[in-house]
Structure 1
Amino acid sequence: MVVQHNIAGMNANRQLNITTGTQAKSSEKLSSGYKINRAADDAAGLAISEKMRRQIRGLSQASNNAQDGVSWCQIADGALDEVSNMASRAKELAVQAANDTLTDDDRSYINEEMQKMKAEIDRTHASTEFNNIHIFADDGFAPGSATKSDSSNKMTITLPNGADVEISVNFIGADGKMDKVDSTKAVGQNTTYSDSAFAKYVQDAAASAIGKLYSNFRTLFSTASSEGIEVGLDLHRGEKGGVLASAAIKMSTGSSSTMMTYSMYVDTIDYPVSDFATMSDSKKADLAATIAHEMTHLIMYDTLTDGMFGNFPKWFVEGAAQTSSGDGGWVTLTPSSSDAAIKSYNAKLTDGNNAYGAGYIATMYLGYAVSASDSANQNTDVTSDNIKAGLDKLMSYMAGNKKTLNEAIADLTGYSGRSDFESSFMNSTAKSSVLDPLAFTKSFLQARRTNGEGSLFGNLSDSQLDVFAPDKLNPTVTNYTIKADSTWYANAFGSGYVFPEKEDGTATGDGTSDGLGKTLKLQVGSETESMNQIDLKRFDIRLSALSEGKTFDTSTRELALETIETVNVIGLNVASVRSYYGALQNRLEHTIKNLDNVVENTSASESRIRDTDMAAEMVRFSNNNILAQAGQAMLAQANQTNQGVLSLLQ
């Protein structure tokens, strides 16, 4: 026997410590409910559990986000339901006003209610919000596009003769690589390039238009235009849905360079190649005016890129192009029009297709106001030269100083900005130090006279034949050259281009151009991939958008009949937007169910890794408790063993 070492006691103590440690961990698991309380408990299990916890919390919030989207759709649908009710009432009133048993006074009473409904529809557009965010937006999608595919990379504009024009703006990539365009893919007949006379006329008309634009806007071209631009000529038979002609642009931008490709489309159904030899000068002049309109768009995209990509209102984009082509029949006013008729016409500046008539006059007035505000200009008559000088100064100021239209108007005229100008023009109030909008319009109509085209390519009183007849073309300028083939010609620019944000502010002053754009994103997943996001479109539901610029007036029987058709259009457009939000709500509800299912089952899986099995752990705890008691007893016995040595020493 030895007394220096109590081996039996040491063994019993070691075993007791092991049991006590295991018992402590078991007690911790039982009291916390988790079998992994620290990484040492299960390192791999902890990593998997933490990843699942992040996913669960992210998906739970994504489900809440989707529910917010459902609430957005419900608010939108409720607002649109009221608009639909107002449209139904408008239909009832329009049918009533079309009945000839009513007097004009009776119709005026009906029309008063109609105009109140118009105001309420516009107020609904401006005031419907979710979390202080406007559900509808001035720069939102057109109502008719609600059930069509997303074409947010396209801008649809309209020619003076009413045909649609589609400007394509393709953002090809941050690396600056250009998509290859297959010019052989023709939907219809594409054999007209061999007719050199027709192609040559289009080339000459375009070159002549550029020459006139160079002459009209010398400062702009010297400030911002590119040299050696080549434009492909695309002659097809009617595949563009009735479009007479269009100018298309594709843009690719990188950090060091920008590429723009151009193509001019002419529909050979509207302008038959086979009839070109016998085509009247009047028809050829109409084609030349259309090409002048489109070439103006192209040079504005080149020189005023920032503004054309979202910052210019429709009335200025189209009005500026029509200063080249002339009004093309859009302006229904004549020199004998009354003040009331002029005021009523100009008041529709921002209403749909009126941008091409009232917008044309407003652009002319803006050029005049800039010119007349120039202290160096002693002549303030309403003339083509004065208007050209003002527009040249306005556009070169924007191009050379990177100014928005809002800033340029504030800096160069007596108006405080774009909204002030629009409001003044629409209300015919005097803000300029020279002629007010009403006085200008009257003087302009007198200068244009009854048969004048009003093009800045000549005198305002010159007819379309005076300006655009074949013998009037002067194709001497080689910049922006039309090439007689269907190739997209790439034109390189020296530095990278950054696409601008949209400029806020409209004449309504209702704040619905809030800079958020047409499409919001609902984050309905826990990761960043696009599949975890759902687009939430915003629409323009002002009456001008819902009615597509058509008549909403019952003051006469004829207008009431037009309004009946207008209300049908409104009803279809409201139904289109409601259908979009209804379908989106259904989709989001399915999304929520799926997210909740994933959260539930992922939570169950995470529980199996992280949570304590209380029954099994209690068995282990009880077992360890018995072992601890046994260990304590054995340690006590071992400590008594050395007492036997005393017997030997006695």
Structure 2
Amino acid sequence: MRITHNISALNADNILKKNNEKLSKSSEKLASGLRINRAADDAAGLSISESMRGQIRGLQQAERNVQDGISVVQTADGGMQEISNIIARQKELLVQGMNGTYSDQDKQMIELEIRQLNEAIDSIAESNTFNTINLLARSDYQIYADRSSTDTTMNISDPPTDIYISKSPIYAPAGTPGTPRQKTRDVDTTTTTQTYSSTSQTTPKVFPDGREGYNDYKVDTQTTTKTDTNTKVYETTAPTTNPVYTDPAYWYTVGRNDTYFGSAHHSQLYGNMVENIEVDGVSRALEYGSRTNPGTVPAVDHFVFPNTDISVTRYRTINADNSIEIRYEMKNNGTTDSTVNMSNSLNPPKNAVMFDDTGNPLPPGNHVISPVSGNVFHMEGEEANASVEFDDGLGLAAPTGLTINNTVPGEPQINFNWEYNLAQGQSMTIGFKYGPLSLSPNIDVLEHTTETEVTKHIESEVVTDITDIDYAPPQLVIQAGTKAHETIEIPLFNVKASGLGISNIGLLPPSIPAQSLAQTEGALAKISNVRAIHGSLHNRMEHTMNNAANYYENLAAAESRIRDTDIAKEMVNNTLSNIVSQSAQAMLAQANNNPQAILQLMKS
């Protein structure tokens, strides 16, 4: 027996806490009537229940909306019923007045009543409103063009010009009679024609002389030719006569699936660069070389060169007693390898000399390079001398060369190796200028500008004769469901005397009695047609409202089964938790008495 830790009491206390927590949750469910009071009770069930609750509330409001719509058509129908009675009375008066037994004075009295009845029709139509919305005197008809006419759209990628598209206007006076959306049409059209011409010219961008060793840059204009294709133009290369190396670099695309092909020769000439080289007192000239094309330029809508790897070359050759070859290789990753084999003395230029990407020198002479953009490098630096003197008695042959390996911009690294084959008695001093590689990123690139003259004349399809007028009356939209498309449109018509075409009926000039009688018959037909439309909408909305009520009932029942508490089942759980809690409490009291038994044992 132990008294330091009352394990039985701790166990009873733990069980009591758990049962009290269950009892608390059960009591909460019984008190609220909800099985899910928080997300922790049932996360998935809560999500479904909340979605259903939103839909249920939407259905409740939709049902009220439909009830309002029914009230609208009932209000309108009540007004039109009385208007129909008035028109029937007018027809009766016209038939009476057309009888030959009535004098002109009698006819004046009859026509006076007809005029007063027209005013009564207008008064009823203007006062028939629902929530300040007029239902029977709407005049805001929307007049549409004949449905066989279409708009003409033309897309051209040239600079915008004036495009004239003509259409015939359509007019309809207020209260125009006629059945909406008549189907008969008589339309005359003209055929679309188009003429198009275009000329283009490329304007070159010139590099300033002396900028990073570049000379002027020139682009020769090239006329374009038109082909009926829908593809991009990709560059090709083709040499011309020395010293020009050509690169087609001009293209232009217009709309309507027409592509213009063209090319412009662009070139840059390097002049001779002369350095003083003394070999036994004889001066020699050092010639510049060339670099290769940076690669194919993809077709784009502007004259821009891509940021591709650049491998450009130049070379120098000195023709003296023994040949001298200087090679520098330069790539845009900052790594430079160079080799110099010399049998004379020289001072290389400050700027680096380039050669082709295979390491082979190009023949001497003037050459042309293609323009580049992106990362452009050049070498420049401080003077540094490394001198070696030889006294060649029998001749010296040693593997030598000048190498710059893995040079990082800003950190020079150079090794000197020489290979000489000097005549007996000759001596030579070699001086080098070297230094860190540095970037020259601000080299101007070619800018392409185009001057285009475009003349267009477009005649679109023109509707010249329309025999029908298609109009749509204004509508009152009833939101009859929880989705945006679940709507019912109630058309609102103009049933004033002018809208029904009976504002000028009568027995005396300028009215024509027979025509007036026909007009009243037409007005009765129209008012009956409008009432039929509203009556059918009334029946439709009643069915819609009944469906919304059934939907609401079923959805509410489903939501209740998910979220509400099953009282009988929860009472069983509550009673069980209550009994277990009381039992645990009794056992806890018993466990707390155990130390007293141990003390009694110690006393005895």
Give TM-score, length-normalised by structure 2.
0.48
Structure number with higher helix proportion? 1
The structure whose residues are more often strand, as a share, is: 2
Structure ID, larger Rg: 2
